[in-house]
């Protein structure tokens, strides 16, 4: 069969990324032809500044070398500008007469620099800053001439100025606004930036309006010699770089009569609204009125366009929320959202001009709507997430300014500034990834997004506490802005729906099985993946207890074999010890089992239980039977331990019988599955020996009753539990604890601990549901008791717990 | 000619699940069944850190390793990019609901690969 013909006009980052995505999923569908106006293969435009500054070479910023095109059988015409397209005959014409027919056309002409319409703009030495040719001209000029003027105090202008200064020129930056980078920074941060750049040797003329460029330089008298301002003053110069903005390059599209409005207008599938055979991605495309200029949105567009070109027809681009996180000459900047503030907004500001740190958070209606950080940007991604999630920050307002990194983050030696770290320093403590490894992977594999770095290096892929550091590394290794993310995060690659949408659909449509969910919500894969199936299984069973049927094949191995898999494929067994109390009889049975099954390690856990490690899968059933104690669910996303102190029964300080309270809680709520593991603790007095302050629910006995704390965590990030309420009786403790757990079970997203759930919905919301709504609280407690009533112990009631016992015994082939 | 050895019925393997097949020498062979009732066989060992693939979640024509979630193709044993590695494959035949493996492969294929050690045993070997 004859292959279809795909022609791409414009050989830049967004377009080539589209081809890469296309070749990944449909390598043989098209004969591909590419036209590029520049005489180069695809290179990383964002890294022109490091080239100008002499930190990298042109060869180093090439993303797709010539061989890439030939290896993929792509016909590449460089240095040929497409000047005409016949949409009826479907032929593309270049300026030298080269023709190419197409079935599908991809227009990625990017953008053009805006040139101020002043007299003298055509003089020699007056250039824009957009491509390799401009960069080379600046490098050459710096060798022979002394003075330079950069018009424009935005990101690009400052980078050009910095580069020229490093190449030995005396540089003046002209900016029409009173402060620098006014679209990314507020005036305070802008002034801090100016001061810091002045200290490095740049000169600034703020509020200056250019009137004309004066010629007469060089032997032929054609070179620019000075720039004249409206107030009559002049500055002598040999080079003028205009960096006053870019405009989508729609010249070709307009000549083809494609509808253009602030760019080539495209729909959610990146097809032009005028002609469905023609796609457009990148800076030239206007999607829902926005032409994006940052890499991450362009790559999202590329993915969608490729998917449609491959005739899969799934996936839509729905726009991106972007943040700016820039690296200008060793200065960290971050801004996102409405950082300028405005009507109805409040601001929290921390300013340390001497230390060069400035942070501003803008809040509206209890939500974070903007952030502007200067000097210390490690919390940028944290603020960006809060912004995107749009959750109430009322309960964390007092801590908000100090960011996520100030409290108990572990695993990266307390580093918060990636630039200052040596190459051998560990960034990701979970997966042992050093700064050097990450930077190398970014450079060598051409990585652009956080997700790509996670996939390739595993850095920040486990606990995620080093995400901010990895983003900083991406920023100064790959350049530019990479933190833009889709507005809504999909559960996984199998669907576009997020966790919340899936939970709501299951409740609204009474979906009782994973298959129902996949069919109703148009899942892309027949039976999901290892990430969505366990989540959906949890959602149906927790939303419809006793009606939805649990699917063991959709549970991870620990919950399928009811033991914890170890690195050598053996398992660990942790029997339940109510409230951490045991007896001689239990210990004797455990000891006998250890001898009988030659269990190599016996360890006391942090949760006051006993762990038997290294049990062979074949022995699990017999070990459970011999010990005869209930399952401890130490392997499950379920209620695990209830840690207690000795309490008033023995302790001379104890005010309440914490051991009994703990046992009662455990007996009432064991076998309770949840979005993630759940741990309780009960202390008998405020000395809090059971460490109730870092548990999902912590109960602390006081003379007049019990204090209840929620959403603590002792893991990756030590989170102190919030005081929730004061209760009088053990019955109340059961009811309030149960209601809190049931709310979390019904609303939490899979793998979301209580701390993250409460952070997402806000503590005030949880208080309203549990403390203020008495009928609602009782209903939740009843729903939990209903769900748990008669639930089987999976170590003994195999059939009821749907334990497939065939798994324990291998088939023998001998 | 290869000699096929009868292992079990297709129905002995859970849908979207697997069974381990013990052999005289070497690690077990994992036999997988997907939702289309296709049967696949790989050495029960992830190319990453030796995890038992038979204990993973099966989806589509892939299995996720239970240790670190590497996604391994059931048809070819290959890890999904950007991870790199391959689990040895075993020939499978399904005939009237019965699963067969190649006797020669069972006896000799990939018998040199072992599981990583854990517990006190790993200190001795380290």
Residue A465 clears pLDDT 80, i.e. is over it: no
Average pLDDT, chain A: 89
Using CB atoms within 10 Å of the CB of residue A196, give its burial: 0 to 12 exposed, 13 to 18 middle, 19+ buried. middle
DSSP A341: -
Mutate to test the interface with A, among B35, B41, B59 (most CBs of A within 10 A): B59
Question: How far apart (Å, rounded) are the C-alpha atoms in residues B44 and B47?
Answer: 10
Architecture of the domain spanning A126-244: 3-Layer(bba) Sandwich (3.50)
| 3-class SS of residue A619 | helix
Residue A480 clears pLDDT 70, i.e. is over it: no
Question: How far apart (Å, rounded) are the C-alpha atoms in residues A542 and A675?
Answer: 9
A323: pLDDT confidence band, cut at 50, 70 and 90?
Answer: low
Domain ranges of chain A: 4-111+248-317, 126-244, 410-473, 499-555, 637-792
Most confident of A121-135, A303-317, A424-438, B43-57: B43-57
Name which of A250-254, A277-281, A332-336, A597-601 the model is least confident about: A332-336
Residue A408 clears pLDDT 50, i.e. is over it: no
pLDDT of the residue at A363: 93
Distance (Å) from the alpha carbon of B18 to chain A's nearest alpha carbon:
8
Residue A466 clears pLDDT 90, i.e. is over it: no
| 3-class SS of residue A419 | helix
Question: How far apart (Å, rounded) are the C-alpha atoms in residues A444 and A436?
Answer: 12
DSSP chain B: ---EEEEEEGGGSPTTEEEEEE-SSSSPEEEEE-TT--EEEEESS-TTT---GGGSEEETTEEE-TTT--EEETTT-BBPTTS--BPPB--EEEETTEEEEEHHHHHHTTTT--PPP-THHHHHH-
Instruction: Tell me the backbone φ, ψ of residue A32, rounded to 5 degrees.
Output: -110, 135
Nearest to A173 by CA among A209, A200, A140, A206: A206
Q: What is the chain A residue with the closest CA to B122?
A: A568
| 3-class SS of residue A589 | helix
Whether residue B59 and residue A810 make contact (CB cut-off 8 A), yes or no, is no
Whether residue A553 and residue B64 make contact (CB cut-off 8 A), yes or no, is no
Residue A549 clears pLDDT 60, i.e. is over it: yes
Question: How far apart (Å, rounded) are the C-alpha atoms in residues A155 and A175?
Answer: 12
Higher pLDDT, A189 or A619: A619
Question: How far apart (Å, rounded) are the C-alpha atoms in residues A744 and A757?
Answer: 7
Q: What are the C-alpha distances in Å from B62 to residues A516, A529, A567, A589?
A: 22, 9, 21, 41
CA atoms within 13 Å, Cβ hemisphere of A506:
28
Nearest to A746 by CA among A532, A410, A499, A517: A499
Q: Which residues of A touch B8 (CB under 8 A)?
A: 811
The residue to which tokens 């970014």 are assigned: A442
Question: How far apart (Å, rounded) are the C-alpha atoms in residues A598 and A595?
Answer: 5
Bridge partners (DSSP) of residue A113 are: A246
Tell me, rounded to whole angstroms, the distance of Cα B54 from its chain centroid.
6
Per this entry, what is the length of chain B? 126
- Cβ contact A208:A173 at 8 Å: no
pLDDT of the residue at A417: 65
pLDDT of the residue at A484: 44
Most confident of A286-290, A483-487, A505-509: A505-509
CB burial string A499-523: b at 16+ within 10 A, e below: beebbebbeeeebbbbbbbbeebeb
Interface of B with A (CB under 8 A): 5, 7-8, 12, 14-17, 19-24, 28-29, 31, 34-35, 49-52, 55-60, 62, 64, 66-67, 69, 71, 82, 101, 106, 115-121
Whether residue A810 and residue B19 make contact (CB cut-off 8 A), yes or no, is yes
- Cβ contact A134:A243 at 8 Å: no
Question: Does any CB of chain B come closer than 8 Å to the CB of residue A614?
Answer: yes
Which among B20, B58, B117 has CB closest to A810? B20
User: Can A4-111+248-317 and A637-792 be said to share one CATH topology?
Assistant: no
Residue A329 clears pLDDT 60, i.e. is over it: no
Which among B17, B34, B55 has CB closest to A565? B55
pLDDT of the residue at A414: 54
A814: pLDDT confidence band, cut at 50, 70 and 90?
Answer: low
**ipTM of the modeled complex:** 0.94
Architecture of the domain spanning A4-111+248-317: 3-Layer(bba) Sandwich (3.50)
The residue to which tokens 């070497």 are assigned: B26
Each residue of A624-666: pLDDT tens digit?
Answer: 999 999 999 999 999 999 999 999 999 999 899 999 999 999 9
Q: What are the C-alpha distances in Å from A117 to residues A212, A242, A252?
A: 9, 11, 22
Residue A432 clears pLDDT 80, i.e. is over it: no
Q: What is the chain B residue with the closest CA to A527?
A: B59
End-to-end CA distance of chain B: 43
CA atoms within 13 Å, Cβ hemisphere of A628:
10
Residue A189 clears pLDDT 70, i.e. is over it: yes
Residue A53 clears pLDDT 90, i.e. is over it: no
Higher pLDDT, A380 or A136: A136
Chain A segment 533-572 residues within 8 A of B by beta carbon are 533-534, 553-557, 560-561, 565-570
Question: Does any CB of chain B come closer than 8 Å to the CB of residue A21?
Answer: no
Q: What is the chain A residue with the closest CA to B45?
A: A569
Question: How far apart (Å, rounded) are the C-alpha atoms in residues A374 and A495?
Answer: 37
Give the other-Cβ count within 10 Å of A75's Cβ: 13
Instruction: Tell me the backbone φ, ψ of residue B89, rounded to 5 degrees.
Output: -95, 155
Which among A527, A561, A613 has CB closest to B16? A527
Each residue of A746-770: pLDDT tens digit?
Answer: 999 999 999 999 988 888 899 999 9
Structure tokens at A697: 């629910």
Whether residue A813 and residue B115 make contact (CB cut-off 8 A), yes or no, is no
Question: Does any CB of chain B come closer than 8 Å to the CB of residue A807?
Answer: yes
A·B CB contacts under 8 A:
111
- Cβ contact A774:A733 at 8 Å: no
Name which of A71-75, A290-294, A665-669 the model is least confident about: A290-294
Q: Which residues of A touch B61 (CB under 8 A)?
A: none
Residue A340 clears pLDDT 90, i.e. is over it: no
Question: How far apart (Å, rounded) are the C-alpha atoms in residues A466 and A460?
Answer: 5
Secondary structure string (H, E, C) spanning A95-130: CCCCEEECCEEEECCCEEECCCCCCCCCCECEEECC
Task: Name, in order, each residue with C-beta under 8 angstroms of A250's C-beta and a sequence gap of 6 or more.
Answer: A109, A260, A263, A264, A284
Whether residue A565 and residue B15 make contact (CB cut-off 8 A), yes or no, is no
Q: Which residues of A touch B52 (CB under 8 A)?
A: 565, 569
A297: pLDDT confidence band, cut at 50, 70 and 90?
Answer: confident
Task: Name, in order, each residue with C-beta under 8 angstroms of A606's C-beta and a sequence gap of 6 or more.
Answer: none
Each residue of B53-87: pLDDT tens digit?
Answer: 999 999 999 999 999 999 999 999 999 988 899 99
Q: What is the pTM of this model?
A: 0.70
Nearest to A257 by CA among A278, A234, A226: A278
DSSP A695: S
Bridge partners (DSSP) of residue A602 are: A612
Q: Return the beta strands (E) in A390-493 as ranges.
A: 426-428, 433-434, 485-486
Nearest to A795 by CA among A617, A629, A600: A629
Residue A482 clears pLDDT 50, i.e. is over it: no
Tell me, rounded to whole angstroms, the distance of Cα A440 from its chain centroid.
21
Name which of A448-452, A585-589, A629-633, B69-73 the model is least confident about: A448-452
Mutate to test the interface with A, among B6, B20, B81 (most CBs of A within 10 A): B20
**Average pLDDT of the residues in A344-368:** 88
Name which of A211-215, A395-399, A584-588 the model is least confident about: A395-399
Question: How far apart (Å, rounded) are the C-alpha atoms in residues A456 and A445?
Answer: 9
The residue to which tokens 């990298």 are assigned: A56
Each residue of A673-708: pLDDT tens digit?
Answer: 999 999 999 999 999 999 999 999 999 999 999 999
Whether residue A813 and residue B101 make contact (CB cut-off 8 A), yes or no, is yes
pLDDT of the residue at A407: 45
Residue A800 clears pLDDT 70, i.e. is over it: yes
pLDDT of the residue at A416: 57
**Average pLDDT of the residues in A243-255:** 92
Structure tokens at A563: 């033991």
Instruction: Tell me the backbone φ, ψ of residue A183, rounded to 5 degrees.
Output: -85, -15
Question: Does any CB of chain B come closer than 8 Å to the CB of residue A344?
Answer: no
Q: What is the chain A residue with the closest CA to B66?
A: A557
Q: What is the chain B residue with the closest CA to A431?
A: B68
List domains and CATH numbers for chain B: 4-125 (2.102.10.10)
**Average pLDDT of the residues in A516-534:** 95
- Could you say which of 3.30.413.10, 3.40.50.300, 3.40.1710.10, 3.40.640.10 is the CATH number of the domain covering A637-792? 3.30.413.10
Whether residue A557 and residue B66 make contact (CB cut-off 8 A), yes or no, is yes
Which among B12, B52, B82 has CB closest to A569? B52
Distance (Å) from the alpha carbon of A8 to chain B's nearest alpha carbon:
27
pLDDT of the residue at A405: 56
| 3-class SS of residue A588 | helix
Whether residue B57 and residue A556 make contact (CB cut-off 8 A), yes or no, is yes
- Cβ contact B15:A553 at 8 Å: yes
Q: Which residues of B touch A526 (CB under 8 A)?
A: 35, 60
Give the other-Cβ count within 10 Å of A345's Cβ: 14
Superfamily the domain A410-473 falls into: BFD-like [2Fe-2S]-binding domain (1.10.10.1100)
Structure tokens at A708: 């209840």
DSSP A27: T
Residue A58 clears pLDDT 50, i.e. is over it: yes
Which among B12, B62, B116 has CB closest to A567? B116
A619-624 contacts at long range (C-beta below 8 A, 24 or more positions apart) = A620/A561, A620/A562, A620/A563, A620/A571, A620/A573, A620/A808, A621/A805, A621/A808, A622/A597, A623/A573, A623/A593, A623/A597, A623/A599, A624/A573, A624/A795, A624/A796
Higher pLDDT, A418 or B101: B101
**Average pLDDT of the residues in A556-579:** 97
| A602 backbone φψ class: left, alpha, beta (φ>0; ψ -120 to 50) | beta
The residue to which tokens 């606990």 are assigned: A463
pLDDT of the residue at A485: 46
């Amino acid at each position: 069969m004859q292959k279809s013909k795909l022609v791409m006009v414009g050989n830049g980052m967004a377009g080539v990324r589209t081809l890469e995505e296309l070749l990944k999923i449909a390598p043989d569908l098209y004969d591909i032809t590419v036209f590029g106006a520049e005489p180069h293969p695809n290179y990383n435009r964002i890294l022109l500044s490091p080239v100008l500054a002499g930190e990298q070479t042109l060869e180093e910023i090439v993303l797709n070398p010539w061989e890439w095109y030939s290896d993929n059988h792509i016909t590449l015409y460089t240095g040929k500008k497409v000047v005409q397209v016949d949409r009826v005959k479907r032929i593309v014409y270049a300026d030298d007469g080269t023709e190419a027919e197409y079935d599908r056309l991809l227009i990625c002409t990017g953008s053009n620099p805006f040139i101020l319409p002043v007299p003298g703009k055509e003089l020699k030495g007056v250039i824009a800053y957009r491509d390799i040719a401009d960069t080379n001209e600046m490098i050459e000029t710096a060798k022979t001439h002394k003075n330079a003027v950069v018009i424009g105090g935005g990101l690009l202008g400052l980078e050009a100025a910095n580069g020229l200064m490093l190449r030995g020129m005396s540089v003046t930056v002209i900016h029409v606004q009173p402060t620098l980078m006014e679209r990314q920074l507020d005036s305070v941060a802008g002034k801090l930036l100016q001061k810091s750049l002045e200290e490095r040797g740049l000169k600034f003329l703020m509020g200056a309006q250019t009137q004309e460029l004066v010629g007469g330089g060089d032997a032929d008298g054609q070179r620019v010699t000075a720039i004249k301002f409206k107030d009559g003053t002049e500055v002598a110069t040999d080079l003028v770089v205009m960096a006053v903005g870019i405009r989508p390059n729609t010249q070709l599209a307009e000549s083809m009569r494609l509808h253009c409005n602030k760019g080539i207008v495209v729909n959610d599938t990146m097809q032009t609204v005028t002609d469905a055979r023609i796609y457009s991605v990148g800076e030239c495309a206007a999607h829902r009125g926005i032409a994006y200029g940052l890499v991450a949105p362009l790559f999202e567009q590329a993915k969608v366009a490729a998917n449609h070109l491959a005739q899969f027809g799934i996936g839509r681009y729905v726009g991106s929320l972007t943040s700016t996180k820039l690296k200008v000459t060793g200065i960290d900047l971050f801004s996102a959202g409405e950082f300028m503030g405005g009507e109805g907004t409040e601001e929290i500001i921390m300013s340390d001009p001497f230390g060069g740190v400035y942070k501003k958070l803008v809040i509206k209606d209890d939500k974070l709507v903007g952030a502007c950080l200067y000097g210390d940007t490690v919390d940028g991604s944290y603020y960006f997430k809060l912004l995107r999630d749009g959750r109430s920050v009322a309960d964390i307002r007092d801590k908000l300014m100090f960011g996520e990194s100030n409290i108990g983050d572990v695993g990266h030696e307390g580093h918060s500034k990636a630039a200052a770290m040596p190459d051998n320093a560990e960034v990701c403590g979970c997966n042992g990834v050093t700064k050097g490894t990450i930077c190398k992977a970014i450079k060598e594999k051409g990585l652009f997004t956080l997700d790509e770095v996670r996939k390739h290096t595993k850095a920040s892929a486990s606990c995620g506490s080093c995400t901010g550091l990895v983003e900083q590394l991406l920023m100064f290794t790959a350049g530019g802005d990479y933190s833009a993310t889709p507005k809504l995060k999909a559960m996984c690659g199998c669907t576009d729906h997020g966790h919340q949408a899936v939970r709501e659909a299951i409740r609204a449509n009474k979906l009782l099985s994973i298959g129902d969910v996949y069919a109703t919500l148009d899942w892309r894969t027949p039976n999901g993946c290892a990430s969505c199936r366990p989540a959906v299984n949890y959602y149906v069973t927790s939303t419809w207890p006793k009606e939805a049927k649990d699917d063991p094949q959709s549970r991870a191995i620990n919950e399928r074999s009811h033991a914890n898999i170890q690195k050598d494929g053996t398992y660990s067994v942790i029997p339940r010890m109510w409230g951490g109390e045991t007896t001689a009889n239990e210990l004797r049975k455990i000891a006998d089992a250890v001898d009988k099954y030659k269990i190599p390690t016996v360890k006391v856990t942090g949760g006051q239980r006993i762990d038997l490690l290294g049990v062979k899968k074949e022995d699990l059933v017999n070990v459970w039977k011999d010990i005869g104690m209930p399952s401890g669910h130490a392997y499950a996303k379920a209620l695990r331990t209830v840690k207690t102190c000795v309490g008033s029964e023995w302790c001379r300080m104890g005010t309440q019988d914490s051991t009994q309270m703990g046992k009662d809680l455990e007996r009432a709520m064991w076998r309770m599955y949840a979005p993630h593991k759940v741990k309780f603790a009960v202390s008998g007095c405020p000395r809090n020996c059971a460490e109730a302050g870092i548990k999902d629910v912590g109960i602390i006995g006081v003379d007049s009753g019990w204090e209840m704390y929620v959403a603590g965590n002792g893991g990756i990030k030590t989170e102190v539990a919030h005081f929730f309420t004061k209760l009088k009786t053990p019955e109340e403790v059961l009811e309030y604890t149960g209601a809190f757990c049931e709310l979390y079970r019904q609303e939490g997203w899979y793998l979301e601990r209580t701390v993250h759930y409460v952070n997402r919905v806000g503590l005030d919301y949880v208080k309203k549901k549990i403390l203020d709504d008495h009928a609602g609280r009782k209903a939740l407690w009843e729903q939990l008791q209903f769900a748990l009533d008669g639930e089987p112990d999976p170590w003994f009631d195999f059939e009821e717990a749907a334990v497939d016992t065939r798994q324990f015994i291998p088939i023998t082939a001998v | 000619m290869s000699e096929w050895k009868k292992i079990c019925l297709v129905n002995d393997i859970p849908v979207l699940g697997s069974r381990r097949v013990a052999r005289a020498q070497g690690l077990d062979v994992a036999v997988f069944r997907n939702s289309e009732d296709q049967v696949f066989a790989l050495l029960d060992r992830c190319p990453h850190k030796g995890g038992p693939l038979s204990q993973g979640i099966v989806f589509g024509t892939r299995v996720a390793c239970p240790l670190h979630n590497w996604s391994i193709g059931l048809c070819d044993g290959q890890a999904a990019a950007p991870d790199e590695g391959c689990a040895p494959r075993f020939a499978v035949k399904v005939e009237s609901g019965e699963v067969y493996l190649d006797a020669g492969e069972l006896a000799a294929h990939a018998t040199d690969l072992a599981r990583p050690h854990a517990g006190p045993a790993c200190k001795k070997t380290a």
